[in-house]
Amino acid sequence: MMAFLHLPCSLVSLTLQTASRHVVTSTSLDTSRLSLLSSSTARPTSPSSWVAKIRSKSFNFVLSGALTLGLSLTGIGFAEAKVGVNKPELLPKEFSSVIDVAGFLSDGQEKRLAHEIASIEEDTGFKLRVLAQNYPDTPGLAIKDFWGVDDRTIVFVADPTFGNILNFNVGASVDLDIPRSFWSRLAGKYGNIFYWKEKGEDASVEAAVMAISNCLREPVGPNNCSEVK
């Protein structure tokens, strides 16, 4: 299964038959049972320890639309529950690794990102998929089948609804190679409201994709992805 760190939670239930562990960051499509985590070594009384206890839940929070609980990079908060979303009519007629239903990206930017994503997949075997949305205008659960999400997939949802615009769903195989701290640092650097308000949502999305590309291309080891470039 897949999981999330940063904003979680659940009303709609969806079960992915893929293997995954964690997720990173703020809002997203939909929510179901999500897996939050910020530190696997925290004490039982700390917020990060509480997050670790629920990390066995699934990545469905991003693919459903109901945020009932939010875990930010600085602490735990609550968000109003929202109705789950499943709008396949918002999907493009042909396959695309970049879906922008929010209008954040120009045609040229979409093409550049799609080209970079294709290069990442060819060079590393990992699949990056990008969805730009403004909840509740989202295809929601429909992206799971459209993209064939599996344990080698990173689902990147750009949605500014709850402040931090960067949200990630990380498959289990990705989780084995990429340190979990990378995703929270990435969200903190390019997803914070001050960054995207000043630079624009498109700048946050492009910077995040390039940072992920750089990280995935680094040799796996104790210090890989230690910097967000």
- Consecutive H or E run containing 78: strand 76-78
Residue range 20-217, CATH number: 3.10.310.50
Q: How confident is the model at residue 62 (pLDDT cuts 50, 70, 90)?
A: very low
Rg (CA), the chain: 16
Does residue 51 have a pLDDT over 90?
no
Asked whether 125 and 152 are in contact (CB, 8 A), the reply is yes
Contacts of residue 23, defined as CB under 8 A and 6 or more positions apart, other chains included, come to 2, 3, 4, 5, 6, 8, 34, 35, 36, 59, 61, 62, 167, 168, 169, 170, 183
Place of tokens 């990008």: 130
pTM of the model: 0.71
What sections of 54-96 are H helices per DSSP?
60-63
What does the pLDDT average to over 85-104?
95
| Angle at which helices 180-190 and 201-217 cross, to 10° | 150
Does residue 93 have a pLDDT over 80?
yes
Q: Whose CA is closest to 96, among 124, 127, 129?
A: 129
What does the pLDDT average to over 27-36?
36
What does the pLDDT average to over 107-112?
98
Domain ranges of the chain: 20-217
